[in-house]
């Protein structure tokens, strides 16, 4: 596809966009009285306009039915989480019984590490990506401490080659193979938060299994952004948050995937709570913990319904949009358009050169482009934001732009290109 740097071209693309009506389902922050250019969906997704009504319904059910709302609410609170089995399983390519909406991402990571990181004297290492998100690093380190294992010896980071920003799949697979004798777990991001690199999850999973280890993924930047097939890939577990591409609000209820090859094994060690207890006999309040034979068996507490009401508003929109396949199609085009505009700025002879560190291959990235501005620094980012663009800065020197296919348009991207060009000039 040939991309043209003109407003007319961008408008033409928007006209042809089968997902264009979804933009009006979100609130945009304002800049100078107008909708700002929002490219921060990788940090906090925009608020769906239906969120307030959904939460109000729960508040009304609370005032009308009080404790009875557990069974009488529009969506009974007792089983509220069940409404997410279908949309979440669709978004991550799982069976409905393999997913659960609960807690926060890092909490879920800890809960699943308790189950799936069972180090022995011989097998105790974890392989992860260098510059993994700090919370993941802390989770892995402290889980190792919990088992009396020294992270300096047991946590293996795969690093980019000298002078490169991205990880080569062959290097990841080689590291897994090299440590295969002592490897317990491979824990990777689906998409790296800093570079926007989409990792080859099926190959990583296969390599981990071949090495006699398990494979888990942090999908914070992949859920609602990439096409996932966790069940078919045979991934052992995954976790995600819902406030980024899933647009479910700050601190929104997170999620987890546990493959069906594990869920039925009731003897798997875990931290238990009453909401993970077998549904049929939960209220007999028996002493011995009997978990549900599904991902629900990892729940601890009863559901945070108000936060789930926001989550539901957003996932309803994802389902109306037809799931990830049409969204990815648009997303590839939006991001490629932004890429072409950045390249054009680079060829205009300015002193500042924009290096896109995100992979150029659309199969190896989601919607985000990460840019290092050579010859400029943080002041360029500050200038761009002052002109009404929401993007973000990640230390030491990366500016991230994430055009989200649910609510961003080609015109947004064109305007972003104009704004960046003005600041670079």
Residues that bind ligand PLP in the complex, under the rule CB under 6 A: 104-106, 133, 135-136, 189, 193, 218, 220-221, 241, 254
Return the number of the residue (98 or 136) whose C-beta is nearest ligand PLP.
Answer: 136
Residue 41: CB minimum distance to ligand PLP, A? 12
Return the percent helix, strand and coil in the chain, to nearest 5. 45, 15, 40
Q: Taking each helix axis as running N to C, give the angle between helix 7-16 and helix 324-346, from 0 to 180 degrees, rounded to the nearest 10.
A: 170
For ligand PLP, which is the closer residue by CB, 48 or 249?
249
Nearest to 84, CA basis, from 253, 234, 215, 231: 253
Q: Which is nearer to ligand PLP, 252 or 403 (CB)?
A: 252
Min dist. Cβ of residue 133 to ligand PLP (A) = 3
Distance, CA of 270 to CA of 416 (rounded, Å): 47
220 vs 416, which CB is nearer to ligand PLP?
Answer: 220
Q: Which is nearer to ligand PLP, 221 or 311 (CB)?
A: 221
CB of 255 to ligand PLP, least distance (A): 11
> Whole-number minimum distance, CB 112 to ligand PLP, in Å?
13
Contact by Cβ (8 Å): 325, 358: no
| Residue of 398, 21, 346, 396 whose CA lies nearest to 195 | 398
C-alpha pair distances (Å), 210 with each of 36, 158, 175, 177, 185? 49, 18, 13, 8, 12
Considering the complex, state which of residue 133 and residue 277 has its C-beta at the smaller distance from ligand PLP: 133
User: Is 311:82 a contact under the CB 8 Å cutoff?
Assistant: no
Q: Provide the edge-to-edge strand list for the sheet that holds 392-394.
A: 353-356, 369-374, 398-401, 392-394
Question: CB of 143: closest distance to ligand PLP in angstroms?
Answer: 14
**Nearer Cβ to ligand PLP (43/421):** 43
Nearest distance, CB of residue 413 and ligand PLP, angstroms: 23
Residues 276, 402: Cα–Cα separation, whole Å: 36
Pairing relationship of beta strands 353-356 and 369-374 according to DSSP bridges: antiparallel
Kindly state the tokens that stand for 392.
């973000």
Least distance CB 245 / ligand PLP (angstroms)? 10
């Amino acid at each position: 596809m040939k991309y043209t740097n003109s407003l007319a071209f961008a408008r033409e693309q928007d006209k042809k966009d089968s997902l264009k009506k979804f933009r009006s389902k979100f609130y945009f922050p304002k800049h100078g009285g107008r909708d700002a250019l929002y490219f921060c969906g990788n940090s906090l997704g925009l608020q769906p306009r239906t969120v307030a009504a959904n939460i109000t319904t729960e508040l009304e059910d609370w005032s009308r039915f009080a404790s009875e709302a557990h069974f009488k609410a529009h969506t009974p609170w007792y089983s509220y989480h069940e409404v997410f089995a279908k949309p979440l399983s669709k978004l991550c390519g799982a069976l409905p019984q393999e997913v659960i909406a609960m807690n926060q991402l890092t909490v879920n990571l800890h809960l699943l590490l308790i189950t799936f990181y069972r180090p022995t004297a011989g097998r105790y290492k974890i392989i992860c990506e260098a510059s993994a998100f700090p919370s993941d690093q802390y989770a892995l380190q402290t889980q190792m401490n919990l088992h009396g294992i020294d992270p300096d010896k047991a946590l293996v980071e795969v690093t980019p080659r000298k002078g490169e920003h991205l990880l080569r799949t062959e290097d990841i697979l080689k590291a897994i193979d090299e440590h295969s004798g002592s490897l317990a777990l491979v824990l990777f991001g689906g998409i790296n938060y800093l570079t926007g690199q989409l990792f080859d999850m099926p190959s990583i999973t296969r390599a981990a299994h071949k090495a006699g280890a398990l494979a888990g993924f942090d999908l914070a930047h992949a859920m609602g952004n990439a096409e996932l097939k966790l069940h078919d890939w045979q991934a052992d577990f995954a976790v995600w948050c819902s406030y980024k591409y899933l647009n479910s609000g700050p601190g929104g209820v997170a999620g987890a995937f546990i493959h069906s090859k594990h869920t039925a094994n009731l003897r798997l060690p875990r931290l238990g709570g009453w909401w993970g207890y077998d549904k049929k006999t939960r209220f007999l309040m028996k002493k011995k913990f009997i978990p549900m034979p599904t991902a629900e068996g990892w729940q601890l507490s009863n559901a945070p319904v108000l936060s789930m009401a926001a989550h539901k508003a957003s996932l309803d929109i994802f389902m109306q949009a037809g799931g990830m396949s049409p969204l990815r199609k648009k997303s590839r085009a939006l991001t490629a358009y932004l890429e072409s505009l950045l390249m054009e700025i680079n060829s205009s002879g300015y002193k500042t050169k924009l290096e896109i560190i995100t992979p150029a291959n659309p199969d190896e990235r989601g919607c985000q482009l990460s840019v290092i501005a050579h010859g400029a620094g943080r002041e360029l980012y500050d200038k761009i934001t002052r002109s009404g663009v929401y993007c973000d800065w990640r230390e030491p020197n990366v500016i991230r732009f994430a055009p989200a296919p649910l609510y961003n348009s080609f015109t947004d991207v064109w305007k972003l290109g104009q704004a960046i060009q003005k600041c670079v000039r």
